[in-house]
Every structure is written in C-alpha cells, then in structure tokens.
Structure 1
Amino acid sequence: MALEGTLHDMPLPDLIQIFRMGPKTGILLLNAPRERGVIYVAAGRLVEAAVLPYEGRAIVAAHDEAVLHMLLWEEANFVFRHDLAAASRPARIIRDAEWLVLESVRRRDDSTHLLRYQRLTLDTRLQLSPLPQSADHSVSLDVRQWRILSQVASCPDLRAIVQATELPAQQVIQTVAELVAIGMIEVIERSRSRPAHRERPATSLSVAALGGGADVAAGRTLLDAIMRRVRSL
C-alpha cells in the first residue's frame, strides 16, 4: 500500500506530522520539477534524507539540509511506501522534525504566504488545532510562541492578537506562520463562520492500495481521512 499525492494536496509539514502521529516507518519519495528527494522515516522519526538533480550524480543537499530544502518546495508529487528496512538505516538527521519545519518557515522570503492557498493578514482568523489522541504532545515552544498561542482562543483575528500582545505585526505574523506550520493552530476560511472544527477543502489526494481503497466520505476533514488510511500502511 502507498500514500501518494501532491504537495498541493498535502504539504510536507503535514505529511511529517502524520508520520509522527502514526508512527510510520518507510520511504517518502518526492519529485519536483527540477529535483527529486527521498526521506527515510523510522517509527515516525526522520532519519535520513537527500536531494538529487534529475541529471548528474551530484547531491544537492543531504541530511538536515535536504529536509529543509524539500520543505521549501511548492510543486512536487510524492509517494510514501511502508518499508521496515528504513528502520535499520543510521540516523543522520540531527534536528527533530519540529525544528526543521520551524526553520523552513523562517527561511521563506515572505512568511505571509504560508501555503499556496493561505495568506496571512491582520484580518486572518485562527483557531486552535484539534490534536488527535495519538499525537505527540512533547511540543517545545519558546516564550513568544506560547504568548501568541494563548491568545488564539480569545482573539477574533490576527489584528486582535497584535493588540493583545503589543508585539510588532510582522513578528506576530511570523510566529503565527510557525505555529500553523507545526500544526498547533489553523487558519479559518473567510467564507465560513468560526466552526468548532474547520474542514479543509476537498483535494485529489489519494491512497493507492494493491487491494483497492475506500473512498473518503463527504464532510470529513482531510487530515482525519488521511490518518485513517495511513494507519493501514
């Protein structure tokens, strides 16, 4: 069985979070327009990674830098295959997944563009993410991140968070981008009222199985549907 799709369907930070919640062991293959990458996952932990060009044998990036390189990709197809052999590979990625995701957000030229379908502005509304019971709760946040996270439930939008914390708007936007990237908070779509749990727009993400797979029922969130299927990998 393989989990496959595009980074439009499921950005790499979300995939990494799913692997950790599983936890899963296997190989993630990514094909971008000019490069290809591979990430080895052992029990939800990223242990090895590399980025290669389509032509030539020179390695573009390896280990931690390879993951950071791929986290900046916006166009790529991916396939994750369950493979217990990945657990026997030596761990060459030093930083944990949370640090890598946060660092990739900091390296973006414009942190207001969190994802291709999300742009952070002072009018952006947020909500706390409902973490599954299987999620890893050992999240390490700094004082600034905790300060902003504590305001999400009581503030109607990002502008109100800026006023409540008295921090510069750009600093708040950057921190919110980091918190969204690691799955602590979610962006509420403008066309909807503030729900108890936001549903993501339907996408073409699919799970290909040798024996076939069940269709995702209407009304489920994308993450919940994918998690049900990933558990069977």
Structure 2
Amino acid sequence: MALEGTLTDMPLADMLEVFHTHHRSGRLLLSRQEERGLIFFGEGRMIDALLVTDIEGNNVIHAEDAILRLLEWREADFSFEHDTSVNERPRRVTHDIDWFLAAARKSNPPPLNLSTRLQPAKPTAASAGPFTLNAEEWRLVGALWPQRTLGMVCVELDLSPQKVISLADAMLRRGLLSVADDVEAPRVAAPRPVADTARPMMAVAPLKHIARTQPQSPQETMVQSHLLKAIIRRVRTL
C-alpha cells in the first residue's frame, strides 16, 4: 500500500524524519510539473536519489545534490512505496539526515517577523565544531529566553526591528538558532522601555507599540502537528 499526499500537507523535511525514525525502506517519488524526484530509503537512511528536471530526461541530478534541490520544493505530489529490496542498492548518499536538514535550514530559513520566537539550535553532526559569537549575538541569545518574540527582544535590547530581524536571520542561516516549537509563551508582561531624558520621546514611542505585539495563534501549527501524527500512524502500517 502506497503512502500518497502533497508537500503542502507534509513537507519533505518532516517525511525524512518520519522515515528515519521508523526505519522505513522503499522509494519516495515526488512530481512537480515536468520534474520528477526519487529518493531511495534503506532502513530509514537515504541511500540514493535522482532528480529529473526535464520531461525528456536529459538533465539528471544525483545523490546529495538531488536531495538538496528537492528540499527546496514547497509544492509537489508524493508517493512512498515500501520495498525492502532497496536495501541492496549501492549507497551513493554519504551524509545523514541531520546534515541535510541543517543545510536546508541554512539555505531556506523561514521568514521572520516580530511575532517569531527563536531558540538556540540543537547541535547536530553538521554543526559540530567551534563557533564564535560577537557581543550583539550574545545579547540576542540571552534576550530570547524565556520564549520571547522578536518584538519583545526589540524592547529588551532597545534595538530597531530591522536590526533584530537582520541579526536573527543571519544566526538562523548559520544554524545557531532555530524557530521555537509553537507552545504558548509565558504570560509575562514585556519590559517597557524607560524614557531616556537625553533622547527625544519619538525614539521611544515605536518601542511601546512593539511591546504590545502578540504571538501568532498556534492553530495553524496544531493542524500541521495533527497531519504529522496521521502520517506517522500511516507509516507504521506500511
């Protein structure tokens, strides 16, 4: 029995994690207009991949490059067929799933706004190694706790929204931050800026508006969570 759907309902990154967690073997076919992608899984690990970018089949991308390109897709149909014979296929993909997910996050970070909540990224094999933070980056990491939105961080650090979003986006692309799980933020009043007599009041007024920024409703993410659980239940039956 094949597992079918669209990337709108279930992004490819989520599927990779599900197949990896449940050690599935088989072929995942993705189709978008004239393009076709095929990823082979052996016991949950990606062992080979192909991406055909034209209907004649003259332009074919292989292995890691194909998977990275497929992770950029946002709309496509998919079909997964369980097949243990895939385990005998020669392994052409050398990196693990964490490497691909980290690379996808760096190349395609989600758009940030003042309602976004970030957190320090979980260490992976791809992100192992020393890294350095400048003073502004350390201040940003410290201001993110506990589950503050970027709007609240603007108030906490007395920085403009453009500065905070630019700084957070750069750290997101470096794999140092990740979007926080959509849980309800603590109901703690955001700190209000103290008026500085050496500054005109117009410089403080916009920050008061930012302090009233509320986190986005978690309903959309709850729907995505339900879809993920449904996919997991379906995978277990394959």
What TM-score range do you get, normalising by the shorter chain?
Answer: 0.5 to 0.7
Distance change in 2, residues 1:79/1:94 (3 Å): same
Deviation at 1:127, TM superposition (A): 7.7
Alpha-carbon distance, 1:201 to partner: 2.2
Aligned length: 193
Q: Is the 8 A contact 2:24 2:43 kept in 1?
A: yes
Q: Would you say 1:120 and 2:146 are equivalent positions?
A: no
Greater RCO between the two (CA within 8 Å, min separation 6)?
Answer: 1
**TM-score after normalising by structure 1:** 0.67
2:86 is paired with a residue whose SS is: helix
AA of the residue aligned to 1:190: Q
Read off the aligned partner of 1:120 and give its amino acid letter: L
Matching of residues 33-112 of structure 1 within 5 Å: 33-108=33-108, 111=109
Q: How far apart are the structure 1 equivalents of 2:95 and 2:141?
A: 23
Gaps of at least 5 residues in structure 1 are 129-136, 203-219
Q: Provide the C-alpha distance between the structure 1 equivalents of 2:141 and 2:14, rounded to a whole number of angstroms.
A: 19
**Partners of 2:117 and 2:180 within 8 A in 1:** no
* Greater Cα offset, 150-159 or 80-89: 150-159
Question: Following the alignment from structure 1 to structure 2, what is the Cα–Cα distance between the partners of residues 51 and 96?
Answer: 19
Amino acid at match of 1:201: V
- Write out per-residue CA displacement over residues 21-65 of structure 1, whole angstroms, 9 at most, x where no aligned residue: 112111000001231000001111111000013422324310000
2:232 matches 1:227: yes
Pairing 1:173–2:195 present? no
- Cα distance, 1:120 vs structure 2: 2.1
Against the structure 1 CA distance between its residues 5 and 180, is the aligned structure 2 distance closer, same or farther, given a 3 Å change threshold?
A: farther
Match of 1:15 in 2: 15
Shift of the 185–125 alpha-carbon distance from structure 1 to 2, 3 Å rule, reads closer
Partner of 1:209: none
Partner of 1:2: 2
Cα-to-partner distance string for 1:188-209 (whole Å, 9 max, x where unaligned): 671249xxxx85326xxxxxxx
Find the structure with the greater CA-based Rg.
2
Regions of 4+ moved over 4 Å: 141-145, 147-153, 159-164, 174-181
Does the CA contact (< 8 Å) of 1:179 and 1:185 recur in 2?
Answer: no
Identity, in percent, stands at: 30
One-letter amino acid of the structure 1 residue matched with residue 100 of structure 2: L
Structure with a larger share of its residues in helix = 2
Q: Which has the higher strand share?
A: 1
- Give distance in 2, aligned partners of 1:25 and 1:185: 31
Distance across 2 between alignment mates of 1:11 and 1:159? 28
Structure 1 residues 144 and 60, CA gap change in structure 2 (3 angstroms) = farther
